[in-house]
Amino acid sequence: MSENPQTKPSSNDRLKDLVSWDSDWKGLRVVVTGIGVSGFAAADTLIELGARVVVVDAATSPKALAQADTLKIVGAADVLLGEDAVKALPLVDDEKAELVVTSPGWRPDQSLLAAAKRAHVPVWGDVELAWRVRERKGRKTADWLTITGTNGKTTTVGMTEAMLQAAGLKAIAVGNVGTPILDALRDPVEYDAFAVELSSFQLHWSESLSPVASVCLNVAEDHVDWHGSYQSYLADKAKIYENTQKACIYNAEQIETERMVENADVVEGCRAVGFTTVTPAVSMLGVVEGLLVDRAFIEERRTSAEELASLTDLGADAPRHMVANALAAAALVRAYGLDSTAVREGLRNYLPGDHRIQAVAKQDGVLWINDSKATNPHAAAAALSAFESVIWIAGGLSKGVNYDEIVKNNANRLKAVVLIGSDTSDLEASLKRHAADVPVIGQAKGDTERVESAEAAGAAAEQSPIFGDTVMAHAVQSAARLAESGDTVLMAPAAASMDQFTSYAHRGDAFIRAVRDLVEGQAQTTEE
């Protein structure tokens, strides 16, 4: 790691002085792209700061129209909706915009963002804006512990939050986990610390973050379509470590994350700390005889380790990836100064979220599992490896990834595959190459008719969510016809959801509803 005690200033003279809530934001001309959760929070914040704001979004759904009406009522914001609104950089009060604040899902090559680049208008993400306004006179400034990775982010951020709260701190999980950081900053509660989940999209649009501690949990091929290449994806993930103050936490079992730390510009005195699911070396956290232990944040680390928790604190038969997530969270809070009691109590208090290897039902010996949050092959592989005889419901927006490895490594577990998604050609090709004997069930006629761009498909799914429910109901019925006692029906799509659903949560909820309808229907038939 090289040392960089200061954040590099922006080339824009006005923007470089915008470093707190109390800076002079008044009259700043800003275009906000997106009127979803992140975009709405950014626009609302900028209006409160006194900026002049234009919000644009391709969506014209009832939800988007309602958000637009709210912003117009709140204050000085113009809202432009529809496909034409996002093709070029609009003027703000008949003048050129001074700043664009983009929602994380917008690709850098999107027409409006490309136009901003050509016009030399800086582009920030909502996280960059949040960092700039985090300090406010008369209020406590929350410390940031930042988390990224291809998989495990939400679990780790939840564990980190639970540990911080177990120590008696006012802490909240924010960012990509669902609560915008800007909303937490404006909350009447004055938080001590934020556990911040950051996607590669959010990191791409960030430049001046300086967290207390940071971690990249793991990396695997994902979002290649958005970033342009796997190397660009890795470069954006590596930004998590820039300007870290106390500890850069890396996965000692994945060399890519260690190299990210080695190449990061950090604050003087920042340490590199690894985590591993086996016996740890010095300056690492790991596992010894069923215990999570620390050999990094203790004085006697060369000769001993401190017990933090037991594997049993994670619940019965915790999978390896869950242990890794717990160790990463423990490393973050230990860097922040928490003791072992907070780590242990936090893990005991932590409740896993929905849609991640979530048991939905078990009937007639068939286990139904919802893993809708498995939006890439790496995440889905963790679920597949946990079961023996699997009917796999998979497919969706592939994001340019390759399915060969997951299919090849799990072909012996697959009893059948049921496809969902607007374009399953890549997954089908991998199944033919590496699991040719496994039956593959396609979608019902009509389920694939809406094959357009990702943006258009997502907008259509938002306007007609019943479409995705119909897709999932057919998939569940197909799986039920194949399932026998001892089988697991696993909905782990290994793809994004926005071609047929509004989100991975919508996809998971549709699966849960379809399974419960099936189970209740079977129970009623048995009773009759």
Residues flagged as binding site for ATP? 149-155
CB-CB contact of 403 with 495 (8 Å): no
Compute the distance between CA of residue 220 and CA of residue 303 in angstroms, rounded to an integer. Answer: 34
| Residue 5: HSE in the Cβ half-sphere, 13 Å Cα cutoff | 2
Backbone φ and ψ of 299, nearest 5°: -65, -40
- Give alpha helix (H) positions in 140-229: 153-166, 181-185, 200-204, 224-227
Strands (E) in 27-140, as ranges, are: 29-33, 52-57, 77-81, 99-102, 123-125
Q: Per the annotation, where are the binding residues?
A: 149-155
Residue with tokens 């490309």: 114
| Residue 157: Cβ within 10 Å count | 31
Compute the distance between CA of residue 407 and CA of residue 91 in angstroms, rounded to an integer. Answer: 49
| Residue 264: Cβ within 10 Å count | 23
Compute the distance between CA of residue 277 and CA of residue 288 in angstroms, rounded to an integer. Answer: 9
Length of the chain equals 528
Integer CA distances (angstroms), 272 to 70, 74, 197, 339, 368, in order: 46, 45, 20, 19, 41
Helix axes 466-482, 454-463, angle to 10 degrees: 90
User: What is the DSSP secondary structure assignment for residue 9, as one 8-state letter?
Assistant: P
**Burial zone of 183 (CB within 10 Å; 0-12 exposed, 13-18 middle, 19+ buried):** middle
Q: Which two tokens stand for residue 323?
A: 């242990």
Closest C-alpha among 495, 517, 513 to residue 504: 495
The C-alpha angle with vertex 343 and arms to 212 and 334, in degrees rounded to 5, equals 30
DSSP calls for 382-405: HHHTT-SSEEEEE-SB-TT---HH
